[in-house]
Amino acid sequence: MLVALVILIAECQATAQTNPPLYIYSTIDALLAGTYDGDLTIRELGAKGNFGIGTYNRLDGELLALDGVFYHALANGSVVVAGPQEKTPLAYVTWFHPTQSFSPENSLPLPEFDKWLDAHLKNLNLFYAIRIDGTFRDVSVRAIEPQSKPYKELASIVKTQSIHDYPTTRGTLIGLRSPAFSNGISVPGYHWHYLTDDHLHGGHVLKLILIKGNVRVETISAIDLQLPKNDAFANADQTKDRTSEIKLVEGK
Ligand SMILES: [Zn+2]
C-alpha cells in the first residue's frame, strides 16, 4: 500500500514536471477594452515561465520570452531586452519543455501553416506552446506606440500600428495555440510573435512564409490564471463578445 502510494506520488510529480501550466496574466478582453496597465513586473513574470508572449504597460510594443530572456519589441521595429521592473498588462508564459517536433517538407505561408500544424496536434481542445527556429520570407510584424491616458479601446488604435517587413530572415517564432473555448481570456487559434536570429528585430506577426524550420511543440493541459486586482481591470467592460475585434487586432 505504501509502495503504491509512493509510486502514485512519484507519477504525480513526474506529470507536473513534464507538463507545466500556462501562466496567464489578465485577459485578452481586458486588453481589447483598453486596460493597458498591469501590476506584474517582468521579474515576477519570469518566475512563471521562460517562454511566451504578451505586451508591456501602456501597450508599448510586444513581449517575447525566449530561453528565459524577456524581449521588448518596440514600435520602431527594434528589439531590446526588457528591464526587470517593466510591467505587463497581459502575458502568457510557460516553462517550455517540447514533447513533439516536426519539420514541414514544403514552404508554407501562415494561414496554410496553421492548418498544417492543426493536423499534427492531437487535441485541439488543449493549449500548445510552439517554437519554430528557421528561415522565413516576407515577414510582416507590427508593434504599437505606447498609449497615453485616457486609453482608447484597442480596435480603435490598431490602425496606428507600425509595420516592419523583412524579405528573408532567420529567426524564431514564439507561438501559442489556444482552444476556441478560451475566447475572452486568450486569442483562439494561433498567436505568433517573431524574433530575428540576432535578437534585434521582431514583433507581433501579421504574415510570413515559413521556408524551412524545426517546429517544437509543448502540449499544455493546465492554466494558472492570475487576474489583476486593480481598478483598470475592475472597470474594463468584459461583458460583450469581442470576437470581431480580436480578428481586426490580431490581423486575421
Ligand atoms: Zn501579439
> Could you report the per-residue pLDDT of 121-152, keeping only the tens digit for each?
989 999 999 999 999 999 999 999 999 999 99
Distance 124 CA to ligand 1 centre (A): 20
pLDDT of residue 19: 81
Omega before residue 150 within 30° of 0, cis: yes
Domain that holds residue 104: 2-250
User: Which sign does the torsion angle of CA 139, 140, 145, 146 carry?
Assistant: negative
| Residues forming a β-bridge with 137 | 168, 209
Q: Give the distance between the most distant pair of CA atoms in the chain.
A: 64
Distance 100 CA to ligand 1 centre (A): 24
pLDDT of residue 252: 66
Are 78 and 198 contacting, i.e. CB atoms less than 8 angstroms apart? no
- The tens digit of pLDDT for each residue in 191-235 reads 999 999 999 999 999 999 999 999 999 999 999 999 999 999 999
Question: Using CA atoms, how far apart are residues 134 and 144, in angstroms rounded to an integer?
Answer: 26
Residue % of the chain over a pLDDT of 70: 92
pLDDT at 15 over 60: no
Distance 37 CA to ligand 1 centre (A): 16
Those residues whose beta carbon sits under 5 angstroms from the ion ligand 1 are 204
Are 51 and 22 contacting, i.e. CB atoms less than 8 angstroms apart? no
Distance 217 CA to ligand 1 centre (A): 18
Distance 143 CA to ligand 1 centre (A): 8
Are 29 and 184 contacting, i.e. CB atoms less than 8 angstroms apart? yes
Domain with 131 in it: what CATH number?
3.30.1330.80
Question: Using CA atoms, how far apart are residues 222 and 215, in angstroms rounded to an integer?
Answer: 22
- Which one, of 143, 158, 117, 140, lies nearest residue 205 by Cα? 140
Q: Tally the domains of the chain.
A: 1
Question: Using CA atoms, how far apart are residues 72 and 56, in angstroms rounded to an integer?
Answer: 8
Distance 177 CA to ligand 1 centre (A): 12
pLDDT at 68 over 80: yes
Q: How would you label 84-105 residue by residue, b for 16+ Cβ within 10 Å and e otherwise?
A: eebbbbbbbbbbbebeeeeebe
Q: Is 239 exposed, middle or buried (0-12, 13-18, 19+ CB in 10 A)?
A: exposed
Residue type, 158: V
Q: Tell me how far CA of residue 207 lies from CA of 46, 49, 111, 168, 189, in angstroms.
A: 28, 26, 8, 13, 15
Question: Using CA atoms, how far apart are residues 57 and 134, in angstroms rounded to an integer?
Answer: 30
